[in-house]
């Protein structure tokens, strides 16, 4: 690393079994935009064992430097060693910003590191910006605007931490866009020695059982989502039928999940998955802000709702006002007729 260049924007590069979490790569792209405004570099913090080659992927997605902490004690994630090592590194290097994915791991480590380093931390941000602000006649440079829904999603709050040196945020998977990887990018790997005391490694992992999720809405090109407008299993079946004809994945609003019409892992929105498919068809979904937060970046949105005033029409590119029990069979018939 060139010692004249500021190294102020960090991303925790989460990996499991040698595979990087998508959210870490998404955050690197966002970190690049933030760092540009701060005239800084982007660094990734990578912990694990025998994972050095992941640095190339991190460089390709925007890291200029990778702090590599490689030790057999770090093979599997454990809260204490991971949090303590990151804390020591943050205390030593004093970055201005540290970003974590809002995953189980990120949500475990971020508050520990923030608390130990007395940093500001905002969870589940949906947007991040850099600004210089004057508050009470004091100028604060490189302030991280941590933007997220608050009060049950009724307002979008901008949270700042002007009185601390280090600003941290967690961001959920899919919220930030993963830009293109550039395999020609390179950077610096900085090896950090790993020293752990007996208390930090007191918790031993005896066995690991992992059940990979069979649902991956994030990569689905077409999603047909149903809401509480399809309030019976029979009506919801129409949504599944349309998805089948279109070769789409099925998703739902939280109200549909709460009513047991669809599995929780298929929920789209603030407390579900954030998706950006080529086509999102929202059927019987009112378009509450918490739902829109998870789908409004879709390339094309079609909404079907019997209420012409439904807020979903505000984000839809095409809208059909009508009863889903009438509209869906017509759509299925029309699509099938095009196939023959």
Q: Which residues bind ligand FAD (CB under 6 A)?
A: 152-153, 227-229, 253-256, 267-272, 284-286, 288, 290-291, 294, 304-307, 310, 323-325
Q: At its nearest, how many Å lie between ligand FAD and the CB of residue 211?
A: 22
Q: Which is nearer to ligand FAD, 11 or 255 (CB)?
A: 255
Contacting residues for 336 by C-beta, under 8 A, at least 6 apart: 245
Asked whether the CA dihedral 143, 144, 145, 150 is positive or negative, the reply is negative
Q: At its nearest, how many Å lie between ligand FAD and the CB of residue 124?
A: 10
Q: Which is nearer to ligand FAD, 47 or 295 (CB)?
A: 295
Answer whether 271's CB lies under 8 Å from 126's CB. Answer: no
Q: Which is nearer to ligand FAD, 102 or 285 (CB)?
A: 285
Give the CB-nearest residue to ligand FAD: 269
Q: Which of 184, 137, 284, 175 is nearest to 224 (CA)?
A: 284
Q: At its nearest, how many Å lie between ligand FAD and the CB of residue 309?
A: 8
Q: Which is nearer to ligand FAD, 23 or 60 (CB)?
A: 23
Give the max Cα distance, the chain: 71
Q: Which is nearer to ligand FAD, 2 or 232 (CB)?
A: 232
What are phi and psi for residue 125, nearest 5 degrees? -70, 150
- Which residues is 83 bridged to in the sheet? none
Q: At its nearest, how many Å lie between ligand FAD and the CB of residue 323?
A: 4
What's the distance, CA 39 to chain centroid?
A: 25
Distance CA 240, CA 244 (A): 6
Q: At its nearest, how many Å lie between ligand FAD and the CB of residue 268?
A: 6
Q: At its nearest, how many Å lie between ligand FAD and the CB of residue 38?
A: 32
| 39 exposure class (CB count in 10 Å sphere: 0-12, 13-18, 19+) | exposed
Q: Which is nearer to ligand FAD, 10 or 228 (CB)?
A: 228
Q: Which is nearer to ligand FAD, 67 or 228 (CB)?
A: 228
Task: Please report, to the nearest 10 degrees, the dihedral formed by the alpha carbons of residues 118, 70, 16, 1 taken in order.
Answer: 70
Q: Which of 122, 162, 121, 127 is nearest to 27 (CA)?
A: 127
What's the distance, CA 312 to chain centroid?
A: 23
Residue 145 host element (H or E): strand 138-150
Q: At its nearest, how many Å lie between ligand FAD and the CB of residue 111?
A: 19
Q: Which is nearer to ligand FAD, 57 or 146 (CB)?
A: 146
Q: At its nearest, how many Å lie between ligand FAD and the CB of residue 321?
A: 9
Answer whether 239's CB lies under 8 Å from 230's CB. Answer: yes
């Amino acid at each position: 690393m060139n010692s004249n260049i500021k190294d102020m924007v960090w991303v925790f590069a989460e990996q499991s079994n040698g595979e990087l979490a998508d959210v870490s790569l998404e955050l690197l792209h966002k970190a690049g935009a933030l760092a540009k405004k701060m005239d800084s570099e982007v660094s990734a913090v990578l912990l694990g064992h025998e994972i050095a080659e992941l640095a190339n992927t991190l460089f390709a997605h925007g890291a200029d430097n990778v702090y590599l902490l490689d030790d057999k004690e770090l093979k599997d994630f454990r809260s204490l060693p991971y949090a303590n090592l990151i804390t020591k590194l943050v205390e030593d290097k004093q970055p201005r910003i540290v970003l974590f994915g809002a995953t189980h791991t990120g949500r475990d480590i971020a508050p520990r590191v923030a608390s130990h380093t007395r940093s500001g931390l905002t969870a589940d941000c949906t947007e991040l910006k850099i600004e210089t602000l004057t508050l009470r006649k004091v100028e604060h440079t490189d302030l991280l605007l941590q933007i997220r829904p608050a009060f049950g999603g009724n307002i979008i709050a901008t949270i700042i931490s002007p009185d601390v040196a280090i600003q941290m945020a967690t961001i959920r998977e899919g919220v930030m866009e993963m830009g293109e990887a550039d395999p020609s990018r390179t950077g610096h790997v900085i090896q950090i020695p790993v020293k752990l005391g007996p208390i930090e490694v007191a918790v031993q992992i005896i066995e690991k059982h992992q059940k990979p999720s069979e649902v991956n809405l994030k990569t689905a090109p077409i999603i047909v989502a149903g809401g509480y407008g399809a309030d019976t299993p029979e009506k919801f079946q129409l949504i599944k039928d349309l998805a089948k004809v279109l070769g789409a994945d099925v998703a739902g609003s939280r109200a549909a999940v709460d009513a047991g019409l669809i599995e929780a892992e298929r929920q789209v929105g603030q407390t579900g998955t954030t998706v950006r498919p080529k086509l999102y068809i929202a059927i019987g979904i009112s378009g509450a802000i918490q739902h829109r937060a998870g789908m409004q970046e879709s390339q094309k949105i079609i909404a079907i709702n019997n209420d012409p005033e439904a807020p979903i029409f505000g984000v839809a590119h095409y809208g059909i006002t009508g009863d889903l029990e009438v509209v869906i069979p017509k759509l299925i018939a029309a699509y099938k007729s095009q196939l023959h």
